[in-house]
């Protein structure tokens, strides 16, 4: 090989390396998640001006390196500008924001296993990002704000490793105008008023995926719900209190049933239901919190199945979280089946009746969805919810009630505040029967055609 040939070869290799795509953590959200480190804690100090939709804050991120690290990234929406970064108290060689990432280059590499404390100061006018599934993230209300983080909206309000497999603890301090009530996940450890502002501080100790963190700000009042085995609170506008008392009255009974069927409630701080002053297309789940719109408070209990669904997510989705988004049925199929279980135990149609009804409806829909891997565009398709619930009902019939509910409790205990794959569930289920469940899984999870019920 001549010198010129070597030069061409070297240039070609360099170009090929430059052109090669960045590694992907999850093909459903190829731009999300980051390599080289693992976060254990976020501490957020935020100030939000409702009238101007202006967010300013700092994030202190505690992490450990998984390999020698010279450069690394955090997810951060383009609507937020970064003014300062430090790593272990030192300024990096460079930082810049591009394509939804904050790229940080260190002056000297950190070895694998090194502790890393990253401070990021940032500000901007937050807004949701456009996705396959509509707008996701930080959203202005008519008089307040909310965060709808699923699946990739966390980066619209703080720099993070925005993937469900990356769980951490959180401390969130949010300052806003005093007439407003501000809610974040976890235990309210401090509330102090200063110069027309109220500073709210929340501690979320349990490991939590970034998309399950939320902020809710509005002209709200907080109320304790009585007669619940787990502390439950409602936060809502005063005008909705009467309808709420009727529509959400059976939540304590739901909690009692789900604790019996699914195992202990997974959060020490209890459960909060927020009802916004605005209408919402669908309710939203967050760690320890469910968010409903004013339209879900209609005085006729029209949203009761949704109330059950969101509560069930505290076990299935929030505590036990799918490690990759293709396994979303582990969230939505289980929460949908919880709706049927609530109906069965509260005087409504049985789970078998719901199963028959929705099997008939699914039979009339396209048979082109694979439950174990529906694809990013269809991961929130209603067929994932209903076919996932049907899969659980068929499993329940196969192994019997005693084994089925023992399996659910084993599942929520073994993977509590952790992440799991579909294979983890099917492997655990195998312990609850002497016969092979492979034909069941093949028909319901790994085949597109709808099996007979």
Is the separation of the CB atoms in 363 and 356 below 8 Å?
no
Q: What's 381's domain CATH number?
A: 1.10.390.10
Look at strands 232-236 and 271-275 and give their pairing: parallel
Q: Tell me what the mean pLDDT of segment 426-442 comes to.
A: 98
Last residue of one domain, picked from the residues 162, 196, 230: 196
DSSP state of 396: H
Residue 205 lies inside a defined structural domain of this protein: no
Last residue of one domain, picked from the residues 286, 314, 342: 314
Is residue 60 helix, strand or coil?
strand
* pLDDT single digits (tens) 305-330: 999 999 999 999 999 999 999 999 99
Q: 2: pLDDT confidence band, cut at 50, 70 and 90?
A: very low
Q: Are residues 302 and 341 in the same domain?
A: no
Q: Which helix (H) or strand (E) element contains residue 309?
A: helix 304-312
- What confidence score (pLDDT) does residue 12 get? 37
Proportion of the chain above pLDDT 70, given as a percent: 95
* pLDDT single digits (tens) 51-60: 999 999 999 9
**pLDDT above 70: residue 118:** yes
**pLDDT above 90: residue 415:** yes
C-alpha 12/C-alpha 414 separation (Å) is 50
Q: Are residues 172 and 42 in the same domain?
A: yes
Q: 227: pLDDT confidence band, cut at 50, 70 and 90?
A: confident
Nearest to 369 by CA among 357, 361, 381, 360: 381
Domain coverage including residue 303: 221-314
Q: Are residues 347 and 434 in the same domain?
A: yes
- What confidence score (pLDDT) does residue 21 get? 55
Residue 135 lies inside a defined structural domain of this protein: no
Q: Are residues 381 and 256 in the same domain?
A: no
Residue 146 lies inside a defined structural domain of this protein: no
* pLDDT single digits (tens) 377-409: 999 999 999 999 999 999 999 999 999 999 999
Tally of structural domains, the chain: 3
Proportion of the chain above pLDDT 90, given as a percent: 93
- What confidence score (pLDDT) does residue 22 get? 66
Nearest to 166 by CA among 59, 21, 321, 314: 321
Nearest to 84 by CA among 116, 56, 48, 114: 56
Q: 5: pLDDT confidence band, cut at 50, 70 and 90?
A: very low
Q: What's 304's domain CATH number?
A: 3.30.2010.30
Q: Are residues 46 and 113 in the same domain?
A: yes
Q: Tell me what the mean pLDDT of segment 415-431 comes to.
A: 98
Q: Are residues 237 and 287 in the same domain?
A: yes
- What confidence score (pLDDT) does residue 7 get? 40
Is the separation of the CB atoms in 306 and 337 below 8 Å?
no
Q: Which tokens belong to 203?
A: 């501690």
Residue 293 lies inside a defined structural domain of this protein: yes
Is residue 61 helix, strand or coil?
strand
On average, the pLDDT of the chain sits at: 95
Q: Tell me what the mean pLDDT of segment 209-232 comes to.
A: 95
Q: Which tokens belong to 152?
A: 């990739």
The CA dihedral of 304, 306, 311, 313, to the nearest 10 degrees, is: 160
**pLDDT above 80: residue 6:** no
Nearest to 141 by CA among 25, 220, 203, 80: 220
Residue 412 lies inside a defined structural domain of this protein: yes
Q: Are residues 57 and 177 in the same domain?
A: yes
Q: Are residues 162 and 225 in the same domain?
A: no
Last residue of one domain, picked from the residues 282, 314, 346: 314
* pLDDT single digits (tens) 124-174: 999 999 999 999 999 999 999 999 999 999 999 999 999 999 999 999 999
Q: Report angle CA 175, 180, 181 to the nearest 5 degrees.
A: 80
What interhelical angle do 329-345 and 422-429 show, nearest 10? 50
Phi-psi category of residue 345: left, alpha or beta, with phi > 0 → left and psi -120 to 50 → alpha: alpha
Q: Are residues 334 and 433 in the same domain?
A: yes
C-alpha 146/C-alpha 160 separation (Å) is 18
Nearest to 163 by CA among 208, 131, 97, 211: 211
Q: Tell me what the mean pLDDT of segment 200-219 comes to.
A: 98
C-alpha 126/C-alpha 344 separation (Å) is 43
Q: What's 190's domain CATH number?
A: 2.60.40.1730
Q: Are residues 56 and 182 in the same domain?
A: yes
C-alpha 18/C-alpha 52 separation (Å) is 41
Q: Which tokens belong to 308?
A: 């059950």
Q: Tell me what the mean pLDDT of segment 278-285 comes to.
A: 96
Q: Are residues 93 and 173 in the same domain?
A: yes
Residue 414 lies inside a defined structural domain of this protein: yes
Is the separation of the CB atoms in 295 and 280 below 8 Å?
yes
What pTM was estimated for this model as a whole? 0.94
Is the separation of the CB atoms in 24 and 35 below 8 Å?
no
Q: Are residues 405 and 424 in the same domain?
A: yes
The answer to whether the bond into 104 is cis (omega within 30° of 0) is no
Residue with tokens 């579909």: 422
Residue 202 lies inside a defined structural domain of this protein: no
- What confidence score (pLDDT) does residue 261 get? 98
Residue 453 lies inside a defined structural domain of this protein: no
């Amino acid at each position: 090989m001549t010198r010129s040939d070597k030069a061409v070869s070297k240039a070609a290799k360099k170009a090929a390396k430059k052109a090669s795509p960045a590694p992907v953590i999850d093909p459903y959200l190829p731009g999300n998640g980051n390599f080289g480190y693992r976060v254990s804690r976020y501490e957020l100090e935020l100030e939000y001006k409702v009238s101007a939709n202006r967010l300013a804050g700092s994030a202190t991120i505690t992490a450990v390196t998984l390999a020698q690290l010279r450069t690394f990234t955090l997810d951060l929406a383009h609507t937020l500008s970064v003014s300062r970064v430090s790593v272990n108290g030192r300024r990096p060689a460079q930082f810049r924001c591009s394509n939804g990432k904050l790229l940080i280059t260190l002056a000297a590499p950190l070895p694998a296993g090194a502790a890393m404390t990253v401070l990021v100061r940032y500000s901007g006018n937050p807004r949701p990002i456009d996705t396959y599934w509509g707008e996701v993230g930080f959203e202005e209300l008519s008089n307040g704000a909310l965060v709808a983080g699923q699946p990739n909206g966390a980066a619209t309000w703080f720099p993070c490793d925005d993937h469900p497999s990356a769980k951490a603890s959180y401390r969130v301090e949010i300052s806003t105008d005093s007439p407003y009530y501000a809610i974040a996940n976890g235990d309210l450890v401090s509330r102090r008023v200063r110069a027309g502002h109220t500073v709210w501080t929340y501690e979320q100790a349990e490991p939590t995926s970034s998309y399950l963190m939320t902020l809710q700000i509005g002209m709200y009042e907080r109320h304790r719900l009585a007669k619940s085995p787990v502390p439950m609170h409602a936060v809502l506008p005063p005008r909705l209190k009467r309808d709420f008392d009727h529509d959400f009255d059976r939540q304590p009974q739901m909690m009692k049933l789900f604790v019996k069927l699914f195992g202990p409630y997974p959060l020490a701080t209890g459960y909060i239901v927020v009802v916004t002053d605005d209408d919402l297309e669908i309710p939203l789940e967050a760690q320890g919190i469910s968010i409903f719109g004013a339209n879900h408070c209609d005085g006729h209990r029209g949203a009761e199945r949704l109330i059950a669904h969101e509560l069930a997510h505290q076990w299935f989705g929030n505590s036990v979280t799918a490690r990759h988004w293709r396994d979303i049925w582990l969230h939505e199929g289980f929460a949908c089946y919880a709706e049927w279980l609530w109906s069965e135990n509260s005087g409504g149609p049985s789970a078998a009746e719901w199963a028959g009804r929705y099997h008939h409806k699914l039979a009339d829909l396209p048979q082109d969805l694979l439950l174990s891997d529906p694809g990013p565009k269809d991961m929130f398709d209603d067929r994932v919810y209903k076919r996932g619930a049907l899969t659980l009902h068929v499993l329940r019939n196969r192994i019997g009630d005693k084994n089925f509910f023992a399996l659910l409790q084993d599942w929520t205990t073994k993977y509590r505040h952790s992440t799991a794959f579909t294979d983890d569930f099917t492997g655990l289920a195998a312990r609850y029967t002497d016969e092979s469940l492979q034909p069941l899984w093949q028909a319901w999870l790994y085949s597109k055609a709808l099996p007979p019920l």
